[in-house]
Amino acid sequence: MANTQSVPQSGSFGDDIVQRYGADIDAQEYEAFGHDRVRDLLERHAAVGRVRKQGSAVVSVEPHEKGTVVYLVADDMSFIVDSVTNCVLDFSNKIGFVFHPTYMAHRSVEDGSLVDVRKVPLSESTPATESTAALPALGMLAAPEGARAVIESWTAVLITEELDADQRAELQQAVESVLADVRSAVEDWEPMRVQARRLAERLEQEIPSVSERDRREAAAFLRWMDDDSFTFLGYRYYALEQENGSEVLRGDVDSALGLMRRTDACVTSAER
């Protein structure tokens, strides 16, 4: 049997964990909002994310005394905060605060239940809001027997207006869809870069139908993109085909990466 214990329902977080929760909020705004209210948000957040299976995300949109709160707990990934905030803005422009700490969570291997929450052990020279890639040593993530350690993003967006039940359900579905897109883009980041390099190599070879100048210019552009100058979100190979007397681009679903994993819009007109 796993040697783990669940985090207590309330009053379980030390001031350091609570302060980290609100570390990205302006000090005066934090004080006006209130330390106890921040603690209440954190404890509700922990309840929302009490069980999270590996590789999944937990989202809940709930009423709050100040309006509405979008809670999410997910693996720490690039783009989460901006993507979720922009998604919320599609529903309401009345955003009060965005809490977005990262925590080191210990979760039961058996069912994903939360065992412990700790501050991420970043190096002293790294701001708390920086990427968790700055971890000084993976050994510091060691979890107790029967648990696994994972760096998690705990994001809470406070909307200063009340959304009704239907609006909350629609917003929750939208956030879940955005998080799925974020995971696709992050997981396929390196494979997309590999495709860019492969295309550049092909363009640097002789292609009878394309001038050398155009080939070299396109290859240089692809290499510039790969040199951390571009955010790759999706890739799919398209074949130029004739259909009913017109040229069409037919997407190869099996080649799709990132956001292009979606199978919709795989055929489009190639007419200019």
Mean pLDDT per 10-residue segment, the chain (272 residues): 45 84 90 91 96 95 96 94 95 94 93 92 46 47 83 96 96 95 92 94 88 93 93 90 86 90 65 58
Among candidate residues 40, 108, 115, the one with its CA nearest the CA of residue 71: 40
Global confidence as pTM: 0.78
- Contact predicate 185/79, CB 8 Å: yes
Retrieve residue 139's tokens: 């050994």
Q: How far is residue 121 from each of residues 105, 148, 150, 156, 268, measured CA to CA in Å?
A: 12, 16, 12, 22, 49
| pLDDT at res. 256 | 92
| pLDDT at res. 87 | 96
Q: How far apart are the first and last CA of the chain?
A: 64
| pLDDT at res. 4 | 42
3-class DSSP assignment, residue 168: helix
Q: Are strands 95-99 and 238-243 parallel, antiparallel or unpaired?
A: unpaired
Q: Which residues of 196-219 are buried (b: 16+ CB within 10 A; e: fewer)?
A: beebbeebbeeeeeeeeeebeebb
| pLDDT at res. 267 | 57
Alpha helices, H only, the chain: 15-21, 27-33, 35-48, 80-89, 165-187, 189-203, 212-224
- Could you give the CA distance from residue 6 to residue 106 in angstroms, rounded to a whole number? 10
| pLDDT at res. 3 | 41
- Could you give the CA distance from residue 60 to residue 85 in angstroms, rounded to a whole number? 14
| pLDDT at res. 235 | 93
| pLDDT at res. 263 | 66
- Could you give the CA distance from residue 17 to residue 39 in angstroms, rounded to a whole number? 9
Neighbours of 175 (CB within 10 A): 24
